[in-house]
Amino acid sequence: MYLVTNAAKCTGCQICQTFCSLSHSQVIAPARARLLVLRGEGDEITQPLTCQQCQEAWCAEACPVDAVHRDPTTGALVVEEAACIGCGACERACPFGMVVVNKETKLAEKCDLCGGDPLCAKMCPTGAIAVINDSEEALTRSRQGVAELQASLPSLLAQITGETVEIAAGNRGRKKGVTALVGKIRDRQVARPLVTATAPAGQQAWGATPTLPGNKQASGVAVQDAGAPRGTSSAGNRLDPSSPYQGRPALPMPLTELPPGHLRILSSSVAPVYPCRYQGYAGRYLRVNLTTLEIKALPLEESLAENYLGGNGFGTKILWDEVPADVEPLSPENKLIISAGPLAGTLIPNGSRVEFIAKSPLTGIYGDANAGGFFGPELKFAGYDFIVLEGKASRPVFLMIQDDLVEIRDALLLWGMDTFAAEATIQKALGDDQIKVAGIGPAGENLVRFAAINVTSQRSAARAGLGAVMGSKNLKAVAVRGTKGVKVAKGQEFLEFARQTHLRLRNNEIFPAVSRFGTPGIAALMNLIGRFPTKNFQFGHFEHIDEIDAEALRDKFFVKNLACFNCPVACDKIYRVNEGQFAGTTVKSLEYETLNAFGAGVFNANLASIIKGNDLADRLGLDTVSAGRAVSFAMELYEKGLLTRAETDGLDLEWGNYETVLALLKKIAYRDGLGNLLAEGVRRAARAIGRGAEYYAMEVKGQELAAQDGRAQQSMGLAHATSNRGADHLKAFPTIDETGYPNEGRRRYGEAYLPEIVDPLSNKYKAFLVKDGEDYGAVIDSLGNCKSGGTFVMAELYWDDMAKALELASGMPVTAESLKRTGERIYNLQRAYNIRHGISRKDDTLPRRLLTEPSPSQRAKGHVVRLEVMLEEYYRLRQWDPATGIPTRAKLEELGLAFVADFLGQAR
Amino acid sequence: MGQIKVSIKYYNLLREAAGQAREEVTLTSPANLLDLLLHLEKQHGEGLGRWILNEGKEISPAVRIFLNGDTPGESQALQDGDEVALFMAISGGSAGVPLSTSY
């Protein structure tokens, strides 16, 4: 038997590693898997590296006690644990770094082909790892594999790590280089100190040498200089000259030129480990005061887990408890909570999510945003459920977490950089390209009210302007590196259940199209039903859709599929513009929302410019939805004569002028001229402009509308009106009625709700659909899972599944009913938080255009959003006062929120 | 009985399966949507047919059909000059029909 790999099919999801590690090591930790996924070159390389079960078995030959045997049935080289003495001879002998001595058990670990049924191959959703069963062919392929790896691995590793190694066949002494490098990628250096060498003096390129703000040793660990050279660096890694990073040296700058003191540690702490009754959780969290530079690691309260799950549930409760109504969102008193849920970092698809929660500078109420990628799992692997960031640093800083070691570091060097450059600089300066970074760009620094937090240069936590909250705290980034892994309560059962959920997703009839096209795949369909906002929601249909839809994107720009952690869907794609004005622009994801915001929304049919806009927004740290709406708002005002050329800094705001779109993105991020006005969001901008501009501000509660014209899908109208973070489709995320999915409607809700519940133009049952979605969404956002990975899109996993997943992972008794109650609790607490800020029924509304201007487009022609009829039913189902929209005491008490009723002064 | 011409526009997986974005087909009237899909399967083979028809040769619940911009009933008769758009469903729900993974 032999495992054959195909890099071209690998999406980098690490499903092989997560299943392998739980199966073999009883912990979910890619680092503990017996195979690796190599990743580099801006994620354009994603490649599985497996044991070759070499015929010339160097590991077996090297073993002094003959503990490595070949299994006669499978041909696998297997370590006999009883005989292994943990000397490491096999580890040193393996030319490919595929044998590792476990530092805890002191036993050698390597791939045993799972006794003949390799889980990695079984779980790989793309066939990037496949099994050769025929023994003759397996022998041949193994020999070929060894030869190919010997030829290709050194250059591949050099490409990924920037370090040079050689493999000399048959000379074991010289193979250490590869083993060490693979080991480094494998995350084995749990105790490896961060680089502490001092940069050469006298090469200070710019700015003042950082000085420490007061308590240099806040947590008792000496302040060190750090961030100095490791490996080689050259002018080759300079940024593209068109980068928005302006007026500073191109970065990442050669590390030998780092000014002394930059990135140095201002405060550090070694976090203690706390026992936790529940698995799935790390059992501890961080509280970091950026004013005092104090870092505290504290035990997770079990009652918090029981009542609020994790993710945005935790964030909601902390906001309620600690950030009262009089706190300004951009003041030091606001708090930013970064929270992964109990299923983040686990095998349940797709436990990739991390939540950011704070009071929103855009809406002034509850704000959250979440992102996939790898940051959330990494936070869990480092051993933290969440981080509370409070106060304000006196100068730019970033938080660096490496397992138990937590540091606040100087970020003056990073301030002003775009998000990608900052991430690359942190990784290079600290000598570890596996560091996961969540950070802000110039938009966040300049307190743009819809600034995003860019997460691992692949995803963005974009909505609600939480990037500005980071900027207001002088917090450039949070960087995390974790090697501990996540434990689950019932390992074997959990693994089997997770396996089933993956197979269900992969067998879902919608899976192939979602996988192949990602969210852009719905653009043409939504256009056809008149739901695709065009010219700032004047229309729901874009006549040039063929030029910007998923098919055009795939035909002209597709490079490869890219997954978030543990996701079989891989809806991210790398797209690259190969020719023309924007040649060379590469993005790692481009969503439906961005296609609309920078495309139809502004009447732009130039797809390459949309890709460029996406790249620019990611680098600048802007929410593409709000930024696009800000631009389309300005364009409509220009069309209507409410903005004149004299007020646009000379920009031509004609519909479809993509040069203007790109220029405005930069002006917004740097708060320049008209950009400064738009950076406030369309609600504030409209009030400042006056002259009736409010009518064209497409927002709810201050947040700009995403790309769902509710006139074509009534449930989306209601969803935008009621969402706790202002206009938003993702809280309720009604998908089954987009184009009518009767089978799923039947399965989830029962025959009685058909056909209306799946009819996008019907109002019937839509309040029920939205309420259920909001409660379920609150749970998904709290568990750490993704709504595009089977819970909403594809609608495969529902209450029962998530209850079972949580119970098996945590050991907490959970039922679908108890989980529903928890979702409702979290949603009601968010609502109550908003009530504290003056929100009431009057705010649960939509822009007048959607309520009074009949849609001119497609099937939606003649329809407005019939909001009131849905709202009445919605309040009734929620047991909120229909006059005020405030949750009743009875409802709050039922949900265990009596303290909220007391706070709101509700009579008993 | 007569001949009608219907223009077809393919999207996402169906565009790849049909190997083209648009085509015009001639059907014998009267013809409904199922007749059209059976015709397309015959013309393009199993590569397209497996997506648009289920094993019982009925219209697959995973295919989305628009007729002149609106959603038709399955038995709706086609007229000369009709425009049909064919998509594979790409959000919403599932009928749980197993299909092999394909990137």
Fold assignment, A498-704: 1.10.569
**Probe site for chain A from B91, B97, B99 (most A CB atoms < 10 A):** B91
Provide the pLDDT confidence category of residue A184 given band limits of 50, 70 and 90: low
Rounded average pLDDT over B21-26: 96
Rounded average pLDDT over A151-165: 80
Fold assignment, A244-481: Aldehyde Ferredoxin Oxidoreductase;  A, domain 1 (3.60.9)
CB contacts of B102 in chain A (<8 Å) are 512, 515-516
Per-residue pLDDT at A229 exceeds 90: no
Q: Is B95 on the interface with A (CB under 8 A)?
A: yes
- What pLDDT does A39 receive? 87
State what percent of residues in chain A have pLDDT above 90: 81
Give the chain B residue whose CA is nearest to the CA of A520.
B90
Q: Is A556 on the interface with B (CB under 8 A)?
A: no
User: What confidence tens digit (pLDDT) does each residue in A603-643 have?
Assistant: 999 999 999 999 999 999 999 999 999 999 999 999 999 99
**Probe site for chain A from B64, B90, B102 (most A CB atoms < 10 A):** B90
Rounded average pLDDT over A340-364: 97
Q: Is there a contact between A57 and A70 (Cβ–Cβ < 8 Å)?
A: yes
Instruction: Chain A: give the shortest CA distance to residue B49, in Å.
Output: 14
Q: What is the length of chain A? A: 908
Instruction: Chain A: give the shortest CA distance to residue B88, in Å.
Output: 7
Q: How many CB pairs under 8 A join A and B?
A: 124
Q: Is A748 on the interface with B (CB under 8 A)?
A: yes
Provide the pLDDT confidence category of residue A259 given band limits of 50, 70 and 90: low
User: What confidence tens digit (pLDDT) does each residue in A865-897 have?
Assistant: 999 999 999 999 999 999 999 999 999 999 999
* Other Cβ atoms within 10 Å of A688 Cβ, number: 10
User: What confidence tens digit (pLDDT) does each residue in A317-331 have?
Assistant: 999 999 999 999 999
Q: Under an 8 A CB cutoff, do A510 and B91 touch?
A: yes
Q: Under an 8 A CB cutoff, do B11 and A511 touch?
A: no
Provide the pLDDT confidence category of residue A250 given band limits of 50, 70 and 90: very low
Provide the pLDDT confidence category of residue B61 given band limits of 50, 70 and 90: confident
- What pLDDT does B69 receive? 84
Q: What is the length of chain B? A: 103
Per-residue pLDDT at A498 exceeds 80: yes
Within A269-400, residue ranges assigned H as helices are: 302-308, 311-322, 375-382
Provide the pLDDT confidence category of residue A434 given band limits of 50, 70 and 90: confident
Q: How far apart are CA A776 and CA A733, in angstroms?
A: 10
Q: Is A746 on the interface with B (CB under 8 A)?
A: no
- Choose among B85, B93, B103: nearest Cβ to A515: B103
Q: Under an 8 A CB cutoff, do A512 and B13 touch?
A: yes
Instruction: Chain B: give the shortest CA distance to residue A516, in Å.
Output: 6
Neighbouring residues of A869: CB distance < 8 A, sequence distance ≥ 6: A763
Per-residue pLDDT at A748 exceeds 50: yes
For residue A559, give the 3-state DSSP assignment: strand
CB contacts of A510 in chain B (<8 Å) are 62, 88-94
Instruction: Chain A: give the shortest CA distance to residue B56, in Å.
Output: 16
For residue B85, give the 3-state DSSP assignment: strand
Rounded average pLDDT over A296-300: 98
- Choose among A551, A742, A793: nearest Cβ to B15: A551
Q: Is A570 on the interface with B (CB under 8 A)?
A: yes
Cis omega before residue A755 (within 30°)? Answer: yes
Q: Under an 8 A CB cutoff, do A125 and B101 touch?
A: yes
Q: What is the pTM (predicted TM-score) of this model?
A: 0.92
Nearest to A310 by CA among A347, A342, A345: A342
Per-residue pLDDT at A241 exceeds 70: no
Rounded average pLDDT over A718-722: 98
- Choose among A11, A507, A739: nearest Cβ to B64: A739
- What pLDDT does A177 receive? 56
User: What confidence tens digit (pLDDT) does each residue in A569-579 have?
Assistant: 999 999 999 99
Q: Under an 8 A CB cutoff, do A509 and B61 touch?
A: yes
- Choose among A525, A741, A858: nearest Cβ to B93: A741
- What pLDDT does A805 receive? 98
Q: Under an 8 A CB cutoff, do B90 and A744 touch?
A: no
CB contacts of A739 in chain B (<8 Å) are 64, 71, 89, 92
What's chain B's Rg over C-alpha atoms? Answer: 13
The helix, strand and coil proportions of chain A, stated in percent and rounded to the nearest 5, come to: 40, 15, 45
- What pLDDT does B96 receive? 35
- What pLDDT does A260 receive? 65
Q: Give the side-chain half-sphere CA count within 13 A for A603.
A: 16
Nearest to A473 by CA among A406, A386, A396, A412: A396
Per-residue pLDDT at B91 exceeds 80: no
Q: Is B9 on the interface with A (CB under 8 A)?
A: no
Q: Which CATH class is domain A714-845+866-903?
A: mainly alpha
The residues in A 776-805 lying below 8 A from B, measured between CB atoms, are 793-796
Extract the tokens encoding A343: 């299923």
Per-residue pLDDT at A226 exceeds 60: no
Rounded average pLDDT over A176-183: 62
Nearest to A350 by CA among A454, A498, A483, A456: A498
Q: How far apart are CA A723 and CA A704, in angstroms?
A: 12
What ipTM, to 2 d.p.? 0.89
Per-residue pLDDT at A542 exceeds 90: yes
Q: How far apart are CA A284 and CA A547, in angstroms?
A: 50
Provide the pLDDT confidence category of residue A745 given band limits of 50, 70 and 90: confident
Q: Is A524 on the interface with B (CB under 8 A)?
A: yes
Instruction: Chain B: give the shortest CA distance to residue A226, in Å.
Output: 44
Q: Under an 8 A CB cutoff, do B92 and A515 touch?
A: no
User: What confidence tens digit (pLDDT) does each residue in A356-398 have?
Assistant: 999 999 999 999 999 999 999 999 999 999 999 999 999 999 9
Q: Is A540 on the interface with B (CB under 8 A)?
A: no
Q: Is there a contact between A685 and A678 (Cβ–Cβ < 8 Å)?
A: yes
- Angstrom CA distances, A873 to A80, A568, A845, B12, stand at 65, 38, 14, 37
Rounded average pLDDT over A452-475: 96
* Geometric angle at alpha carbon A627, from A625 and A633, rounded to 5°: 100
Provide the pLDDT confidence category of residue A186 given band limits of 50, 70 and 90: low
Provide the pLDDT confidence category of residue A183 given band limits of 50, 70 and 90: low
Q: Under an 8 A CB cutoff, do B87 and A742 touch?
A: no
Extents of the domains making up chain A: 2-185, 244-481, 498-704, 714-845+866-903
Rounded average pLDDT over A832-859: 98
- What pLDDT does A154 receive? 83
Rounded average pLDDT over A435-446: 97
Per-residue pLDDT at B97 exceeds 80: no
Q: Which CATH class is domain A2-185?
A: alpha beta
Instruction: Chain B: give the shortest CA distance to residue A24, in Å.
Output: 27
Domains of chain B, CATH where assigned? 2-88 (3.10.20.30)
Provide the pLDDT confidence category of residue A185 given band limits of 50, 70 and 90: low
User: What confidence tens digit (pLDDT) does each residue in A77-128 have?
Assistant: 999 999 999 999 998 888 888 999 988 899 999 999 999 999 999 999 999 9
What are the strands, taking DSSP E only, across A430-531? 436-439, 453-455, 459-461, 475-481
CB contacts of A126 in chain B (<8 Å) are 101, 103
- What pLDDT does A198 receive? 30
Q: Of A44-48, A231-235, B60-64, B95-99, which one has max mean pLDDT?
A: A44-48
**Probe site for chain B from A503, A525, A859 (most B CB atoms < 10 A):** A525
